[in-house]
Structure 1
Amino acid sequence: MRAEGWLSFLLVFRMMASIQESEGTWALWRGLGSSLWLTCVPVAQFCLYEGLRALDIWGRGVDHRPSGTEAFLLGAVAKGGAAIATYPLQVVQSNLRLRGQAFGGTLAALMRLRCERGFAGLFAGFEAKILQTALNGALMMLTYEKLLDGVAFLRT
């Protein structure tokens, strides 16, 4: 490792030690829960997609590979469902960045926002976000299914 790399490495540990001394050990893990929650969005999307596919709403059998249109629609719905589960957390994070005040944890921040603005406040701006998010999910699952079709074709 070059000298700059070692210096950066040592500075990180020095900063961690400083945080531990001033705020306690748990301060190093603050925000982990919400980060993991947001990281799970692709997993939730894929599980929702596969669950919707297994429902066989087109009546073609569970083993049937969806058409491009079907994959697009199921992907949009799945991504929308995953977005609903995580959007309130994104609103809270935006408010924390703007206001710069701590609420005593993610759950406390969610509860305070709900009390201040009601349930609708947790989904402020969701209309614009869902269009972008659903399109992203739709294109991703369409691409996924087409890649699977291509691999299956190459294997035969």
Structure 2
Amino acid sequence: MSRIERLKDEGSRSQVIISGAVAGLISRFCIAPLDVVKIRLQLQTHSLSDPLTSNGIKGPTYKGVWGTLRKIQQQEGTTALWKGNIPAELLYICYGGSQFVAYRTVSQLLSTLPKRLPPSAESFVSGATAGAAATTVTYPLDLLRTRFAAQGTEKVYEGIIASLRDISRNEGVRGFFRGCAAANGQIIPYMGLFFSSYEMFHQALGGTTLPFSGGDAIAGVLASVLSKSAVFPLDLVRKRLQVQGPTRSRYIHTNIPEYRGVIRSLIQINRREGFRGMYRGLTVSLMKTAPASAITMYVYERTLHLMMHNNHVEEA
């Protein structure tokens, strides 16, 4: 039985929820600074190779991962590297739990079909469905995370409650779901590719036969790098759409253009910034995603096994 197949059957629903939430919480805290850097780079529309595009720009110009980290720390303080961490932690907790529950539920439903799909197809369908469901349910938290991370020294929102009140009053319910189409357009192929490639890499690496259960972590890294690279332009569009609205010109980058729709945004970015513009922040995204996925899968598996072991001990 493969690792993914065991994942579908192991643990109770509450154990899966708790394990997924713990995994999301820990991985988010560890990669929060890289997430802030990624968002800042993705929202930077002026070209570093063409100085004329940055004329009249009030906000900072970021270059490279470490350069951006240093500039944020110097200009805004070390705590700025964790901007948006509260909604992000809530996002990762809710997303982690709902993702694994949805994945497990869909996988078990697929296993009852009269004619079973190939294992790789089941993993793809389960992963894509789980990703779409978790993304939609938790999307308002994702939007808040982006907007707080995009704030400079001038605060757009004073806190989470104030942001909820402001967005609701000035943008309505739809304001909380700006860019949701791009998010689902990204997450469906991403999660499908992630889970199916995780299974493939896990088997190729010998799984848990590696020291310290290294197969889980390495397979998670490889799967996340492959999946994230494939869908990155949609992730960039999502970030650009999330900061649209009446506060668009008040973030750290004051020159963010107005975007409408996923396809039109992709065309607009490609025309204005070129093909490379659609991959702004890819390097830091891979630096962030790989360890985040590795930590998530490792902590999830260890937490679930610990809870199951303790449950067996109590029953004995």
Structures share fold, TM-score greater than 0.5: yes
Whether 1:117 aligns to 2:164 is no
2:126 paired residue among 74, 77, 86: 74
CA 1:144 to 1:30, structure 2 compared with 1: closer, same or farther past 3 Å? Answer: closer
Q: Distance in 2 between matches of 1:136 and 1:36?
A: 21
Amino acid at match of 1:35: A
1:145-156 to 2 correspondences below 5 Å: 145-147=199-201
Please give the TM-score of this superposition, normalised by the length of structure 2.
0.33
CA 1:107 to 1:71, structure 2 compared with 1: closer, same or farther past 3 Å? Answer: farther
State which structure, 1 or 2, has the greater radius of gyration over its C-alpha atoms: 1
CA 1:57 to 1:115, structure 2 compared with 1: closer, same or farther past 3 Å? Answer: farther
1:139 CA drift (Å): 0.8
Q: Distance in 2 between matches of 1:38 and 1:129?
A: 14
**Total equivalences in the alignment:** 129
Amino acid at match of 2:129: V
1:1-156 to 2 correspondences below 5 Å: 32-40=85-93, 41-54=95-108, 56-60=109-113, 67-96=119-148, 97=150, 100-147=154-201
Amino acid at match of 1:48: A
Amino acid at match of 1:33: I
Q: Show CA shifts across 1:112-147 (max 9, x none).
A: 212221111111121122111221111111123345
Q: Distance in 2 between matches of 1:77 and 1:107?
A: 31
Please give the TM-score of this superposition, normalised by the length of structure 1.
0.60
CA 1:94 to 1:53, structure 2 compared with 1: closer, same or farther past 3 Å? Answer: same
CA 1:30 to 1:91, structure 2 compared with 1: closer, same or farther past 3 Å? Answer: closer
SS of equivalent residue, structure 2 residue 155: coil
Q: Show CA shifts across 1:87-117 (max 9, x none).
A: 2123234444268434342233123212221
Q: Distance in 1 between matches of 2:86 and 2:144?
A: 14
Alpha-carbon contact 1:89-1:110 (below 8 Å) kept: no
Structure 2's unaligned 5+ residue stretches are 1-76, 210-316
Structure 1's unaligned 5+ residue stretches are 1-14, 20-28
CA 1:147 to 1:102, structure 2 compared with 1: closer, same or farther past 3 Å? Answer: same
SS of equivalent residue, structure 2 residue 112: coil
Alpha-carbon contact 1:88-1:110 (below 8 Å) kept: no
- Choose between structure 1 and 2: higher helix proportion: 1
